[in-house]
Amino acid sequence: MRRVLRGFDQPRYTAASPNGRHAFVSDSGRHEVVTLDVVQGRVVARVAVGGPARHISVDPSGRTIWVSLGSKAEQVAVVDVSRPAAPRLVRPFRPPFLAHDVGIVPGGRHVWVSSGDRGALAVYDRRTGNVLRRLPADAPPQHVTFSGGNAYVTSGEDGTLRVQSLRDGRVLHVTRVPVGSYNVQDALGWIVTPSLDRGTFCVLDRRGTLRHRVQVAPSSHDACFVMTA
């Protein structure tokens, strides 16, 4: 352990900047997004976003983040982090449903927003903020990650993982996963999802085929890959 950072109320999720130096943490209790210098292990800035910040995503250039303001969020906030030490709230906006997760596609042009109150997804143009496409989904809340030309959307309530085309949103494959498999991540071309209800850790390939299912704990919440030089 290198550092313990205090001064948070309800820290939720983290997005790593492509610059390798900074990370952005949503603090739901303080209604803030917090910039961390991960090299020095310190807080360098805070910005108020107007609601209980939760899921967060940074664009590939590291200049913009989107953050949902709650688990059933009436608003999503767009924050300019082109100067990580001086983040600036650009605008909040109301999605067409109560939002849950946000994911900026690796190409940076589109953003997928999932729902916390219904079976629905919205695909946005990141630059204009316009809704390009609305898609049906399994039970809320859904979570989303990306790999190659696909989006991977989980429904923990229904126990499903959908593989969907980034080009048109078409569903390419549906895989049954343990109920409670909410959070989902791309990990070097593999898709990983832990189950909050069952304590499993599932690994799927890009086609959505379940390759491994491991029992790791009574309950497991999130997962990621740690990469070292």
pLDDT at 227: 64
- Is the model's pLDDT at 216 over the cut of 70? yes
Q: What percent of the chain has pLDDT over 70?
A: 98
What average pLDDT score do residues 137-161 get? 97
Which residue type sits at 178? P
What average pLDDT score do residues 199-215 get? 96
Contacts 24+ apart (CB under 8 A), 189-195: 189/147, 189/148, 191/145, 191/147, 191/152, 191/161, 192/223, 192/225, 193/154, 193/161, 193/223, 194/220, 194/221, 194/222, 194/223, 195/156, 195/219, 195/220
Residue entry with tokens 């030490």 = 85
What average pLDDT score do residues 114-137 get? 96
Tokens of 38: 């991960």
Distances (CA, A) of 166 to 114, 134, 146, 159: 14, 13, 9, 22
For residue range 64-117, list pLDDT tens digits in order: 999 999 999 999 999 999 999 999 999 999 999 999 999 999 988 999 999 999
For residue range 24-66, list pLDDT tens digits in order: 999 999 999 999 999 999 999 999 999 999 999 999 999 999 9
Q: What percent of the chain has pLDDT over 90?
A: 91
**DSSP bridge pairs for 212:** 203
For residue range 184-198, list pLDDT tens digits in order: 999 888 999 999 999
Tokens of 143: 């979570």
- Is the model's pLDDT at 229 over the cut of 80? no
- Going along the chain from its start, the domains and CATH numbers come out as 1-93 (2.40.10.500), 95-223 (2.130.10.10)
Tokens of 157: 């309530």
pLDDT at 2: 84
Q: Is 95 exposed, middle or buried (0-12, 13-18, 19+ CB in 10 A)?
A: buried
CA dihedral sign, ordered 160, 70, 111, 227? negative
pLDDT at 188: 85
Q: Which residues have a Cβ under 8 Å from the Cβ of 4 and sit 6 or more positions away?
A: none
Nearest 5°: phi and psi at 78?
A: -110, 125
Task: Assess contact for 117 and 140: CB atoms under 8 A.
Answer: yes
Task: Assess contact for 23 and 14: CB atoms under 8 A.
Answer: yes
pLDDT at 221: 86
pLDDT at 139: 98
pLDDT at 222: 83
- Is the model's pLDDT at 122 over the cut of 60? yes
What average pLDDT score do residues 199-220 get? 95
Tokens of 12: 């939720």
